[in-house]
Amino acid sequence: MDLLEYQGKQLLERYGMTQSPGRAAHDVDAAVAVAEEVGYPCVLKAQVKIGGRGKAGGIKIAESAQQAREHAAAILGMDIRGFTVHELWVQRAVEIEDEYYAAVVFDRSAKRPLVMLSTRGGVDIETVAAETPEAIATLHVDPLTGFKPFHGRRLAFEAGVARDVVFAVATLLGQLYAAFCGEEAMLAEINPIVITPAREVLALDAKVTLDDSALFRHPANAALTDLSDADPQELMAVERGLTYVKLDGDIGIFGNGAGLVMSTLDVVAGAGGAPANFLDAGGGAKADSIVAAIEVILSDPKVRAVLVNVFGGITRCDEVARGLIEAVRLLEPAVPFVVRLDGTNDVEARELLTAAALPGVVTEPTMDGAAARVVALAAERSA
């Protein structure tokens, strides 16, 4: 789960990281009130889960209440590469002398956290990483010894950090690492760390990604979930405990098991079609969960035809057929279904479907055949 900048900052604050004071605001009046509170100049920052906000015009400095109002009105509701701005973070502006970059990530191949530090932080760190990777000092941390103060100093010297702020930068790295481990993050990144003319070291931005599988150990973090920008079908699927990913095409996919669903996507693409989603009903799906899943697929207005591809193992095909019959009777879909059932109780399943004689539902014996059929049906409907 990605956190918004200010959620990340609040999390890092608990580990002692120094930041410029600020508060979040949901509307223009609230933003102006925070601006008045923190004083001028202040910065208004779009809170969206994507970087490059500065370049996109989502970060503005205000010198007065009047300007704060103008900027807040301009940024709220703005679209930043597909993300709508619903929230602002308003903080006291700081003077910047230098911009550094720091991050802790998982290096899966090394099986260790990797700490990175560069004195060339700011909005162009991607270019630095691509063109001059040696400008980024790195260190793998042995999880048993942890990140020690001397590690921080070593990185600071290697990165060429100004002498007078080496200790402060090393301290910040220690806090970043502690937060990364303590909150079970996958990524904790500060870009930029700023050095002010008074030689203060502050975290000006924060990007934190938490491990979803560990959220149950961190109820306060789990509560941070921001659903305002989530896709309606994905929300519906989350509520129903389904594994669902929305895609761009027009063919709804229902399968059981991630491997089967993935190969179904491939076969549909191979037949010239474009899947509208990835829906894995999992093993042992029962009739009512099938109705719930079909409802999610049908709620996507882009869907022109649905392919049900089930291989019965633990899942019994007759159970899927029953769920499907119930779903079609209940939801009365306006789009055709192509069904391929194979494996445990498949004969019984096909008999059930034949007996039900559902309008708009056809069965196909093979996966390739089913894919070709559903692609043809979707194409007919788009013509």
Contact 99, 193 (CB under 8 A): yes
Please identify which residue in 31, 35, 38, 43 interacts with ligand GDP, judged by CB under 6 A: 43
Please identify which residue in 4, 24, 35, 59 interacts with ligand GDP, judged by CB under 6 A: 59
Please identify which residue in 20, 67, 191, 344 interacts with Mn ion, judged by CB under 5 A: 191
Q: List the interface residues with ligand GDP, window 199-228 (CB under 6 A).
A: 204-205
Please identify which residue in 30, 105, 123, 222 interacts with ligand GDP, judged by CB under 6 A: 123
Stretch that binds ligand GDP, among 44-52, 142-150, 259-267, 301-309 (CB under 6 A): 44-52
Residues in the chain: 383
Which amino acid, residue 206? A
CB 191 to Mn ion: min, Å: 4
Tokens representing residue 299 in the block? 């709620």
Strand pairing report for 243-246 and 277-280: antiparallel
Please identify which residue in 8, 38, 53, 291 interacts with ligand GDP, judged by CB under 6 A: 53
Which amino acid, residue 342? D
Please identify which residue in 76, 94, 159, 297 interacts with ligand GDP, judged by CB under 6 A: 94
Please identify which residue in 16, 21, 39, 52 interacts with ligand GDP, judged by CB under 6 A: 52
| CA 73 vs CA 34, 56, 60, 128, 314: distances in Å | 14, 15, 11, 34, 55
Stretch that binds ligand GDP, among 11-19, 45-53, 65-73, 237-245 (CB under 6 A): 45-53
Marked catalytic residue, from 101, 177, 183, 244: 101
93 interface partner picked from ligand GDP, Mn ion, none, CB below 5 to 8 A per type: ligand GDP
Sketch the per residue contact string, 162 through 201, with ligand GDP: x for CB under 6 A, - otherwise. Answer: -----------------------------xx---------
Q: List the interface residues with ligand GDP, window 97-116 (CB under 6 A).
A: 99
Q: Measured between alpha carbons, how far apart are the two ends of the chain, in Å?
A: 40
Q: What DSSP designation does 133 have?
A: G
Cβ-count burial 293-321 (b if 16+ within 10 Å, e if not): bbbbbbebeebbbbbbbbbbeebbbbbbb
Stretch that binds Mn ion, among 33-41, 62-70, 202-210, 234-242 (CB under 5 A): 202-210
Marked catalytic residue, from 5, 99, 189, 364: 189
Distance CA 295, CA 235 (A): 13
96 interface partner picked from ligand GDP, Mn ion, none, CB below 5 to 8 A per type: ligand GDP
Binding flag, residue 205, Mn ion (CB under 5 A): yes
| CA 141 vs CA 10, 161, 181, 191, 366: distances in Å | 25, 20, 11, 21, 51
13 is catalytic: no
52 interface partner picked from Mn ion, ligand GDP, none, CB below 5 to 8 A per type: ligand GDP
Stretch that binds Mn ion, among 93-101, 165-173, 188-196, 337-345 (CB under 5 A): 188-196
Longest Cα separation, the chain: 81
Residue 123 or 187: which CB sits closer to ligand GDP? 123
**Neighbour-count burial of 252, counting CB atoms closer than 10 A to its CB (0-12 exposed, 13-18 middle, 19+ buried):** buried
Helix 166-182 × helix 149-159 angle, to 10°: 120
Distance CA 122, CA 138 (A): 18
Stretch that binds Mn ion, among 13-21, 195-203, 204-212, 336-344 (CB under 5 A): 204-212
100 is catalytic: no
Which amino acid, residue 113? P
34 interface partner picked from ligand GDP, Mn ion, none, CB below 5 to 8 A per type: none
The alpha-helical segments, DSSP class H, found in the chain are 5-13, 28-38, 65-75, 125-131, 149-159, 166-182, 219-222, 232-239, 258-270, 287-298, 317-331, 346-356, 367-382
Residue 129 or 331: which CB sits closer to ligand GDP? 129
| CA 2 vs CA 47, 48, 208: distances in Å | 12, 10, 6
Binding flag, residue 75, ligand GDP (CB under 6 A): no
- The residue ranges that bind ligand GDP (CB under 6 A) are 43, 45, 51-54, 59, 93-94, 96, 99, 122-123, 191-192, 204-205
- The residue ranges that bind Mn ion (CB under 5 A) are 191, 205
Looking at the annotation, which residues are catalytic? 101, 189
